[in-house]
Amino acid sequence: MTGIRTGKEWVIVLVIMVLVSIVALAAIQLSGTVGIEERFGHALGISGDATGKTEDPGFLGFSLEGQPLMFLGIIAMLGIVCYMTYRHFRI
Amino acid sequence: MAHIHLEDGSFTLFWVVIWWAVALVVIGAALFWVRSAKKTDSRVITLAAFCTAAAFAIFQVSIPLFGGVHLNLTPLIGILVGPVIGTFIVLIVNILSAAIGHGGWGLIGANIVINVIEVVVAYSLFRSLKKIFPSAFARGMIATLGGLFCGNLAMIAIILVSGVQGVTQSASQILFGLTLIAGINMGVAIIEAVITGMIVTYIIRMRPDMLESERQ
């Protein structure tokens, strides 16, 4: 089988993107703009508190899940592992 | 991305054990596969380290879109390192996430099953669609959307089959609510698809030897 010509390839991708966007926008209209935990709470008929989350304003709307110090510690550890792996294998 | 955003105690002990058992079988199969292979490519090991760090970091960030969403890069993991090593990355990211308080320990088994499905489907689509979609960017996007769609279906199925303790909704109401969550997740999947497409294209341009599917 030969590849789809570049133009047709992107038409297919675009059509899929548009369809997915329509579905997503419809879902947002129906559920409202609430956080993922609240959305789960609404879907299951449990209160927001039952999902165990508290509101964190974060920075410019971006916020971290879980404990920030633990997050930074694990990121540092993973960074060291990445550096060591990169140096060791010399890829 | 698909991820069951519920705390410990949401599933009964029976279902916690069942999903952990399923996850352990999948991890065991991956371990067997790795041990039976002659040697794991050092490039894949290095990529796996970077994928683990990136997936863990991005998964903890709540993005202010549609009220707050997450990315988790599971399709990118599948495309870059394959389903076997991808299974181990998914395990590590889920355990580390639970360790910092993002998600319950009891739900790790179910979430591993969902994430492994995303990894496997994205990997399979990216490889199998090469002749139909020669562009790595387009193929990466399609593979990501396909993987995340299947992950969302798995999430809905797991919750419906397991049931959640303390719910007041009927099964049809829960299905409707979860379908809305899946719909919104697919909106986020478009962003993840673009990011995945860009990263895959960049790696193929700079280091085509890093991707097994592009080495021929």
Comparing CB atoms, the residue among A6, A24, A51 nearest residue B135 is: A6
**Which band of pLDDT confidence, cut at 50, 70 and 90, is reported for residue B38?**
confident
What predicted TM-score, i.e. pTM, was given to this entire model? 0.90
Cα distances (angstroms) measured from residue B184 to each of B94, B152, B187: 22, 10, 5
For residues B60-88, average pLDDT: 90
Among partner residues B177, B183, B210, which is closest to A44 by beta-carbon distance? Answer: B177
Task: Sort A70 into a burial class: Cβ within 10 Å, 0-12 / 13-18 / 19+.
Answer: middle
Tell me which residue in B62, B174, B176 faces A62 most closely, judged by beta carbons.
B62
Q: Do A28 and B156 touch, CB atoms closer than 8 A? A: no
Residue B179 has pLDDT above 90, yes or no: yes
The tokens describing B100, both together, are 């910092």
Kindly give, in sequence order, each residue whose CB lies less than 8 Å from that of residue B127, ignoring residues fewer than 6 positions away.
B213
Output the pLDDT for position B199: 96
Distance of CA B66 to the CA centre of its chain: 21
Name the residue in chain A with its Cα closest to that of B64: A61
Q: Which residue has the tokens 């592009």?
A: B214
| A5-54 residue pLDDT tens | 567 888 999 999 999 999 999 998 888 777 777 888 888 887 655 444 55
**Higher-pLDDT residue of A73, A3:** A73
pLDDT score at B4: 86
Q: Is it the case that residue B114 has pLDDT exceeding 70?
A: yes
**CB contact (8 A) between residue A27 and residue B132:** no
Contact A46 B142 (CB under 8 A): no
Q: CB count, 10 Å around CB of A73?
A: 13
User: Between A5 and B179, whose confidence is greater?
Assistant: B179
- Closest chain A CA to residue B61: A64
Q: How far apart are CA B82 and CA B212, in angstroms?
A: 9
CA distances from A1 to A8, B129, B132, B133, B213 (A): 15, 11, 8, 11, 18
| Contact call for residues A79 and B47 (beta carbons, < 8 A) | no
CA-derived radius of gyration, chain A: 21
- Chains A, B: CB contacts under 8 A, how many? 192
Give me the residue from B4, B138, B178 closest to A13, CB to CB: B138
Does the pLDDT at position B66 exceed 90? no
What's the mean per-residue pLDDT of chain B? 91
pLDDT of residue A1: 44
Q: Which residues of B touch A89 (CB under 8 A)?
A: 42-43, 45-46
Of B59, B61, B181, nearest to A40 by CB-CB distance is B181
pLDDT score for B136: 93
Cα separation values, B128 from B9, B59, B122, B124, B134, Å: 40, 28, 10, 6, 11
* B63 pLDDT higher than 80: yes
Per-residue pLDDT reduced to its tens digit, B8-24? 888 999 999 999 999 99
Is B100–A67 a contact, with Cβ atoms under 8 angstroms apart? yes
Count of beta carbons in the 10 Å neighbourhood of residue B168: 10
Handedness of CA B104, B155, B78, A53 (dihedral sign): negative
Residue A3 is classified by DSSP as P
d(CA A25, CA A21): 6
Contacts of B142 (CB under 8 A, 6+ apart): A13, A16, B125, B129, B133, B193
* Interchain CB distance below 8 Å, A91 and B63: no
Considering only CA atoms, give the Rg of chain B: 17
Q: Is B187 in contact with A79 (Cβ distance < 8 A)?
A: no
Question: Which chain B residues are Cβ-neighbours of A61 within 8 angstroms?
Answer: 63-64
Lowest mean pLDDT among A50-59, B23-32, B153-162: A50-59
**Which tokens hold the place of B15?**
């279902």
